[in-house]
A = this chain, B = another copy of it.
Amino acid sequence: MSDIQLKHILQAALFAAGEPLTLERMVALFGEEAPPDRATLLAALAEVEQDCQGGPLELQRIENAYRLQTRREFAPWLNRLFAERPARYSRAVLETLAIIAYRQPVTRGEIEAIRGVAVSSEIIRALTQREWIRQVGAKEVPGRPALYGTTRAFLEHFNLKSLEELPPLAEVHAEANAGLSDSELPEEAEGTEGPPAAAGPDTP
């Protein structure tokens, strides 16, 4: 490795990767030749993070991987760089995504129960194609409806270290729940009582 430092190799890899790098991939950079151990790697990553101070980049962790990204203060200038405007998503799409993110694994019927409106196949397809959600299984109830969950790409896109970083669901009107105890709410949303009739996509 001569005088090329570990830190610089990691920086180079993070600059070039264009996607989050796991510690495993960082170790693999070194091939057979004396790969650094985890502690050394983490120390070097801390140095990389420190080097970002005062500059336009930041080191962001997504689950067990790291990436370099521009700080949000630079968005006004950078957005002029790209002719394409960032995609906008409809409320229906975002509501569906948020419910999947918070309640996963969740069926379409359960999403509909919360939203009070049919969830169109286009919404599910759009989110699936965007690779923000995926089918994670099937619920063991009649019809075996698909259960959906969010993906790693979802975390990456919304700059989340993990699902735990999602802001906690606000307790709206927590002081009075019209006779419903707090503990009851999550349970209902589990869909244990089945979607109300109003939410069915096939009701006239």
Interface residues of A (CB under 8 A from B): 4, 8-9, 11-13, 15-18, 21, 25, 28-31, 55-57, 68, 70-71, 73-74, 77-78, 80-81
**Would A9 and B81 count as touching, CB distance under 8 A?**
no
**Would B74 and A4 count as touching, CB distance under 8 A?**
yes
Please indicate the chain B residues that have their CB under 8 angstroms from the CB of A81 in the complex. Answer: 13, 16-17, 21, 25, 28-29
Q: Which 6 A-B pairs have the closest CB atoms?
A: A12-B56, A12-B74, A8-B56, A29-B77, A12-B70, A9-B77
Compute how far the CA of A74 lies from the CA of B98 in the bound complex, rounded to whole angstroms.
41
Partner of A15, one of B17, B25, B28, B57: B57
Given A8-B55, A55-B8, check contact A16 B80 (CB 8 Å).
Answer: no
Compute how far the CA of A41 lies from the CA of B78 in the bound complex, rounded to whole angstroms.
16
**Would A13 and B55 count as touching, CB distance under 8 A?**
no
Provide 14 A-B residue pairs closer than 8 Å at the C-beta atoms, listed in order of the A residue. Answer: A4-B73, A8-B55, A8-B74, A12-B57, A12-B71, A12-B74, A13-B77, A13-B81, A15-B15, A15-B70, A28-B80, A28-B81, A30-B80, A31-B80
Compute how far the CA of A81 lies from the CA of B30 in the bound complex, rounded to whole angstroms.
10
Please indicate the chain B residues that have their CB under 8 angstroms from the CB of A77 in the complex. Answer: 9, 12-13, 29-30
Q: For A12, A13, A30, A74, which residue has the most chain B Cβ atoms within 10 angstroms?
A: A12
Compute how far the CA of A136 lies from the CA of B55 in the bound complex, rounded to whole angstroms.
43
Closest chain-B Cβ to A60's Cβ sits at a distance in Å of 13
Compute how far the CA of A12 lies from the CA of B78 in the bound complex, rounded to whole angstroms.
8
